[in-house]
Amino acid sequence: MVAVGGAVIEPDHLDPTINAHHIGTTLRALLSDHDRRRTMQVNLRARPPADAAVTIARLLLDLPDDQPGSPADAHALTAGGVIPTAAG
């Protein structure tokens, strides 16, 4: 998400006071910049959902969420190349 401009990461400084300062600065900047937030939103919406391949596999296989063969098996199908993904 960061790579496409849809998120910001703040490093963990291990000191809560320093973390609060940096996070607060970042949040204030984001809250005061509507155009930046809008750009982030557009960038995030332009990418497919992280679970798109699983969702497609589930629809194709008509698997309910609570049945064997749910997310893990659907993921195995996409990861194993049975259902092509953008990466494969």
| Predicted local distance difference test score (pLDDT) of residue 34 | 96
Distance between CA 76 and CA 74 in Å, rounded? Answer: 5
Is residue 62 within 8 Å of residue 21, measured between CB atoms? Answer: no
38-55 pLDDT, tens digit per residue, is: 999 999 888 877 777 787
- Predicted TM-score (pTM) of the model is 0.50
Identify the band that residue 32 occupies on the pLDDT scale cut at 50, 70 and 90: very high
Reported as half-sphere exposure (CB side, CA atoms, 13 A), residue 9 has a value of: 7
Is residue 20 within 8 Å of residue 14, measured between CB atoms? Answer: no
Distance between CA 17 and CA 4 in Å, rounded? Answer: 29
| Predicted local distance difference test score (pLDDT) of residue 52 | 76
% of residues, the chain, pLDDT over 70: 70
Helices (H), 1-88: 16-31, 34-46, 52-61, 71-79
